[in-house]
Amino acid sequence: MFGDPVKEGLVDSLSRPGGNSTGVTIFGPAAVTKRLQLLHALVPQGAVTAFLMNPNNPNGNLEMKAAQAAAASLGRQIVVLSASSESELDAAFASMVQQRIGTLVGASDPFLFNRRDQIVSLAARHRIPAIYYLRDFAHAGGLMAYGNSLTDMYRLVGVYVGRILKGEKTTDLPVVQSTKFEFVINLQTARALGIEVPNSIQLLADEVIE
């Protein structure tokens, strides 16, 4: 799950989900705050940051509010841009260029993940330093990624599947939150953007793509 399953009405509570639903969820808003901080540390001169989100994702507003609060604490301005189609992504990046936006933070969203090659390509074309929510973006050529580890989430899901197959009821299994995060930096992209990544930031990374 992405976001808050309680607010979405999927479960009654994290500790006692009720019904037939349980599973693993991620810290969307908290991770957005960390993404802003990492991006600010690497590109402090970018006063205006775009937050790219899918307007059809109900979790987007929670992350957007977290991004706005984090940006305010860092003295940055946030411009929210929405896209839910290929053409809208093109338009969003055209708007970033027009507004002279310096950096980009991507929301946690399946649509954006599926369009990661397009997004990374547009960011490179327009020379916009960006940070995303899954390591796959960095492997596709994105500058940085920070978010929950999908490998850890799949492991947790596997544990739950095993417990259910052994007879435990979903109503007795609390929704767990994946607490393992990954930070990936793509130095090739940094060099292409003319950004020098200091050792202090590289040492924070779980993976550095040379």
Identify the CA nearest to 29 among candidates 67, 75, 56, 57: 67
Q: What's the pLDDT tens digit per position in 70-88?
A: 999 999 999 999 999 999 9
Cβ count within 10 A of residue 44: 12
How many angstroms separate the CA atoms of 80 and 67, rounded?
9
pTM of the predicted structure, to 2 decimals: 0.83
How long, in residues, is the chain?
210
Mean pLDDT (whole number) for 22-42: 83
Phi, psi of 197 (to 5 degrees): -90, 110
The amino acid that residue 137 corresponds to is F
Max mean pLDDT range (11-15, 39-43, 60-64) = 39-43
Structure confidence at residue 8 (pLDDT):
59
Question: Confidence band (pLDDT; 50, 70, 90) for 7?
Answer: low
Greater confidence (129 vs 152) lies with 129
How many angstroms separate the CA atoms of 112 and 84, rounded?
8
The share of the chain scoring above pLDDT 90, in percent, equals 65
What is the DSSP-derived secondary structure letter of residue 206? S
Q: Is 80 exposed, middle or buried (0-12, 13-18, 19+ CB in 10 A)?
A: middle
